[in-house]
Structures are given as C-alpha cells and as structure tokens.
Structure 1
Amino acid sequence: MQRFGTLSFGHYGPLGGGRELTARDSLHQAIDLAQGMDDLGVNGVYFRVHHFARQQSSPMTLLAAIAARTERIEMGTGVIDMRYENPLYLAEEAASVDLLSDGRLALGVSRGSPETVIRGYEAFGYTGSQDPRGADIAREHFATFLEAIEGAGLAERDSTSPFGAGARGMQRIEPHSPGLRSRIWWGAGNRDSAEWAGRIGVNLMSSTLLTEDRGIPFDELQAQQIDAFRAAWKDAGHPGEPRTSVSRSIFPITTAQDAMYFGRADSEGVGYIDGMRSTFGKTYAAEPDALVEQLLDDAAIRSADTLMLTIPSQLGVEYNLHIVESFAAHVAPALGWQSTRA
C-alpha cells in the first residue's frame, strides 16, 4: 500500500435528537477534514457523487475550495456518474481545478451507483439510452470526455470570427491541463469493466461492491479483478504502471468511543444490486495489532497501491480525524505506507 486516503459519502440530514447536519455543514466540514488530513500527511480525499440525494452532487466547487486550503493532498471523486454529465463542460471544470491545484486532481468516473430515482439522468436531458441502467450513455459521455482532456480538436474554428485571427482547423476545449489524463480512474464493478478500463488506459477504482458472485471471498474476487485489469493494460501496450485503488470501512479501536460505535462491525455478504447478484466488501474494526493482521490477509489490499477508507462523515470533523490519525499512526505503516510529510 503506497497511498491511503478517505472516501466520503457526504451524507447530510437529520441526525436524531433534534439535531440536523445541513448541506452547508457537510461542505464546510469536508473542507476542514481535508485540511486536517493534509496536515497529517495523508495522500488523498475523495467524494462520492450522487444526484437526487442528500450527498455531494456537484463536486468541482468543493474540490476547488479544498485545493485553495491544502498544499499536498490529492483530491478527487469516487465516482462521478457519467450518465448525468455534459462531457465537455466536465472537461473544462476538471482542467480548471487541476490547474488551480497544481496537478492534484484525481477523478474517478463510471456509470454510477444505484439511484434513489428512476433514470434520473433523463431529467438532466440525457435520453435515448438502450440500456436499462444507462451504461451506453455513460460510456459515450466518457469517450468524449477523454478526447477533450487529451486536447483533441472538437469544434471547427470560424476563420471569419473577429476573435479567431483567421485561424483554421479544429479547436480543443480550454483550459487544457496536460497531466490530467493520467489521473483519470474508471470505477469498475466487475471483471469485464476492469478489463475494459485496462484496454483504454485509465486507472482502476475497484468498487465497494462487485456485481458478480464467483463463490469466493470479496477480497479474492477483487484481487482477481485487479489482476485482469493489469493484464489488459499490459496487453494493450500502455506505458508505465497504472494505479489501482480499493475502498474499505476500517476502524482502529483505540478508545471506548470507538468500541461503542464499531465494536460489533464485521461483515461481508452477498445480495442483489440493480437486479444483479453482488458481493459486498467487509468492514474491519479491531484493535490496531489485530487490524494489521487482518488487513495483511486481505488479498485486494495487498494488490492495490491505494486504499480509501470509507468514513462516517456525519460524526463530524474531530472524530473522523481521530479515525484517520489512528490509522496513520498505528496501522498504515505496517502495510507499507509513508506519510507525505516524512
């Protein structure tokens, strides 16, 4: 494990007892948490993107704010639902944030997770899908997005325009950030999707659940997915080594409060998502020494270079920083990690 960071769902709403976490609270706390993690030397802070839900939905303004308040930490998404995106507008926004952050943006994109509404992307104007889950729209939008951030010409220049100085040919979108293409991840929920990501040459963000069940534990199934991705990358002739990430709910128990919240958390299972039989990842919660042993035995964590901790953002900045600091101090070094402040 070379890097670790947090993956936040950004939930807000009633907390019980008359308390409520507002959308404003959630955004400000996300910035404060990112700043605290940057001070700790953690590698990344990533956000789930969900529409029609009380979660983060349009992440670019949040990521820009984090860029302005931090110095080293990578920031990104896991994942942006490409069914909802205008790919050229997303490319402009992503390039702008990447330039503002001096190349610290890492965007995870995909078809997206199950929704709270029926075909919500159609309400955004993206209709005509032939797939019940809109996967064809997501792939089409993603292909255009990649062309845009690669700097391809996408619109013909108007040589008669007073702003074009008589130029001819095709114009790329602006601004353009040259290194952004190497920091795009595809969120894959099965082996076929992972192999496709390897063939087209983007990084792999392996999902917190896999839409397949092969009768083996989740970590082994995920490790096989990562192996298939790397083999497809190599067979396609792409240079260098791609990045791979997995996410887990991991809670070092170092205080009575930790034990109260997570002392009974230890689960893995099989169920149905979007009508498909799916395998869900395990939640780890134990004292640090036991946690190290368990995580070293997780085949996917051993295989991936980046680990994302799914954090309970509703519990506030102070407690989430406690989780991250406990992991950084007592667990992560035994998995091979070194702080960015080292």
Structure 2
Amino acid sequence: MQRFGTLSFGHYGPLGGGRQLSAADSLMQAIELAEGMDELGVNGVYFRVHHFARQQSSPMPLLAAIAARTQRIEMGTGVIDMRYENPLYLAEEAAAVDLISGGRLALGVSRGSPESVVRGYEAFGYTGSDDPRGADLARDHFATFLRAIEGEGLAERDASSPFGGGTGMQRVEPHSPGLRSRIWWGAGTRETAEWAGRVGVNLMSSTLLTEADGRPFDLLQADQIDAFRAAWREAGHPGEPRASVSRSIFPLTTAEDHLYFGGRQEGDGVGYIDGFRSTFGKTYAAEPDVLVGQLLDDAAIRSADTLMLTIPSQLGVAFNLRIVEAFAKHVAPALGWQSTLD
C-alpha cells in the first residue's frame, strides 16, 4: 500500500435527536477535513457522486475549493456517473480543477451505482439508451470525454470569427496535459476491469463485485486487479497503472471508538444489486495491532497501491480526523505507507 485516503458519501439531512446536517455543512466540513488530512500527510480525499439524493452530487466546485486550500493532497471522485454528464463540459471543468491544483486531480468515473430515482439521467436530458441501466450512455460519454482531455480537436474553427478564426479543428479549453494519466474507471466486475486496462485508465475497484462464486471478497477483488493489470500490459500501455480499493476500517483507540464501532466487525456480505448476485466487502474494526494483521491478510489490499477508507462523514471533522490520524500513526506504516510529509 503506497497511498491511502478517505472516501466520503457526503450524506446530509436529519441526524436524529433534533440535529440537522445541511448541504452547506456537508460541503464546508469536507473542505475542513481535506485541509486537516493535508496537514497529516495523507495522500487523498475522494467523494462519491449521487444525484437526486442528500449526498454530494456536483463535485467540481468542492474539488476546486479543496485544491485552492491544500498543498499536497490528491483530490478526486469515486465515482462520477457518466450517464449524467456532458462529456465536453466535464472535460473543461476537470482540466480547470487540475490546473488549479497543480496536477492533483484523480478523477474516478463509471456508469455509477443504483439510484434513488428511475433513469434519472433522462431528467438531465440524456435519453436514447438501449440499456435499462444506461451503460451504453456512460461508455459513449466516456469515450468523448477521453478524446477531449487528450486534446483532440472536436469542433471546426470558424475562419470568419472575430475571435481568432483559423482553420482546422479546435480542442476544448482549458487543457491540462497530465490529466489523462489520472483518470480512473470504477469497475464492479472482472470484465469491466479488463476493459479499463485495455483503454489505459486506472482502476477503482468497487466496494462490491457483481460476482459470487463462494470465494471471499478480497480474493475476488485481487483477481480483478490482476486481470486489469494483465489487460494493461497486453494492450501495450507504458508504465504501471494505479489500482485502488475501498474499505470500512476503524482503529479502536478510545472509548468513543468502541462505543460507535466496537461491534461492527463484519464478514463479507452476499446479496442482489441491479439484478446481479453480488459480494460486498467486510468492515474492519479492532485495536490497531489486530487491524494490521487483518489488513495484511486482505489479498486485495496487498495488491492495490491505494486504499480508500470509507468514513462516517456525518460524525464531523474532528471525529473523522481522529480516525484518519489513528490509521496513519498506528496502522498504515505497517502496510508499507509513507507520509507525504516525509
């Protein structure tokens, strides 16, 4: 494990007991958390994207704010649902954030997860899908997005324009040359992981896999990562791609930790999602020395270079920073991690 960071769903709304977390609270706390993690030397802060839900939805303003108020930390998404996106506008926004951050954007995209509405992307204006889940829209939008961030000319110049004119094809602006190498595809199957390897983008292995053959989740996920890397090599892409996994991990170092998470150690789950029998990863909650042994036994964590900790963002900045700091001090170094401050 070379890098670790946090993955936040950005939930807001009623918390119980008359308490309320507003959308503004959620956004401002996300920025504060990123600042604190930057000071701790943590590698990344990543956000889930969900539409029509009380969660983070349009990530670019948040990522731009984090970019402007941090120095080292990578910021990104896990993942943007490409069914909802204008690919050229997304390419412009992503390039702008990447330039503001000095090349620290790690943009995870995919078809997205199940929604709280029916075919919500159609309400955004994206219709005509032949797939009941809109996967064809996501792939088409992604292909155009890649062409845009690669700097391909996509619109014919107007020779009579008073704003430059000329001939040939014009790319979208701004353009960030290094962004293409920091695009990730969120994959929930071995097949989509292999596809990502052939395309030449990094892999965000999902928190669940739409496979259930009786093997533990970590072994299924490690096989998926191996297949991804093999497809990358076979396609002839240069260098080594990155691969990330996410886990719910809670070092128990205080009485409060035990109160919240002491009974949360859970095994793999098997259920149905989007009509597929799927395997879900386990939750780890234990004292740091016990956690180290458990995580070293997790085949997918051993295989991936990046680990994302799913955090309970509703519990506030101070609580989550304490979880992250405990992991950074007492667990991560034993897994091979080194702070960005070192």
Q: Same fold (TM over 0.5)?
A: yes
Q: Residue in 1 aligned with 2:195?
A: 196
Note the 1:37-76 alignment, pairs <5 A: 37-76=37-76
* Runs of 5+ consecutive residues of structure 1 not aligned to the other structure: none
Q: Distance in 1 between matches of 2:194 and 2:83?
A: 20
Structure 1 residue 164: Cα displacement: 2.2
Q: Residue in 1 aligned with 2:335?
A: 335
Q: Residue in 1 aligned with 2:211?
A: 212
Q: Residue in 1 aligned with 2:254?
A: 255
Structure 1 residue 332: Cα displacement: 0.1
Q: Residue in 2 aligned with 1:234?
A: 233
Describe the SS at the equivalent of 2:35: helix
In the TM superposition, what whole-angstrom CA distance separates every residue of 1:16-36 from its partner, at most 9, and x where no partner exists? 000000000000000000000
Q: Distance in 2 between matches of 1:73 and 1:312?
A: 20
* Runs of 5+ consecutive residues of structure 2 not aligned to the other structure: none
Task: Give the residue type in structure 2 aligned to 1:226.
Answer: I
> What TM-score does the superposition give when structure 2 sets the normalisation length?
0.99
Task: Give the residue type in structure 2 aligned to 1:203.
Answer: N
Structure 1 residue 82: Cα displacement: 0.1
Task: Give the residue type in structure 2 aligned to 1:52.
Answer: F
Aligned length: 341
Task: Give the residue type in structure 2 aligned to 1:141.
Answer: H
In the TM superposition, what whole-angstrom CA distance separates every residue of 1:70-128 from its partner, at most 9, and x where no partner exists? 00000000000000000000000000000000000000000000100000000000001
Q: Distance in 1 between matches of 2:237 and 2:285?
A: 38
Note the 1:113-124 alignment, pairs <5 A: 113-124=113-124
Q: Distance in 1 between matches of 2:13 and 2:162?
A: 51
Q: Distance in 2 between matches of 1:10 and 1:163?
A: 42
Task: Give the residue type in structure 2 aligned to 1:207.
Answer: S
Q: Residue in 2 aligned with 1:287?
A: 287
Note the 1:128-207 alignment, pairs <5 A: 128-165=128-165, 167-207=166-206
In the TM superposition, what whole-angstrom CA distance separates every residue of 1:133-163 from its partner, at most 9, and x where no partner exists? 0000000000000000000000000111111
Describe the SS at the equivalent of 1:334: helix
Q: Distance in 2 between matches of 1:300 and 1:43?
A: 19
Q: Residue in 2 aligned with 1:34?
A: 34
Q: Distance in 1 between matches of 2:161 and 2:143?
A: 29
Task: Give the residue type in structure 2 aligned to 1:310.
Answer: T
Q: Residue in 1 aligned with 2:108?
A: 108
Describe the SS at the equivalent of 2:307: strand
Runs in 1 of length 4+ with deviation above 3 angstroms?
Answer: none
In the TM superposition, what whole-angstrom CA distance separates every residue of 1:199-236 from its partner, at most 9, and x where no partner exists? 00000000000111121000000000000000000000
Describe the SS at the equivalent of 1:76: strand
Using the aligned pairs only, state the percent identity: 84
> What TM-score does the superposition give when structure 1 sets the normalisation length?
0.99
Q: Distance in 2 between matches of 1:119 and 1:31?
A: 31
Structure 1 residue 266: Cα displacement: 1.9
Q: Residue in 2 aligned with 1:10?
A: 10
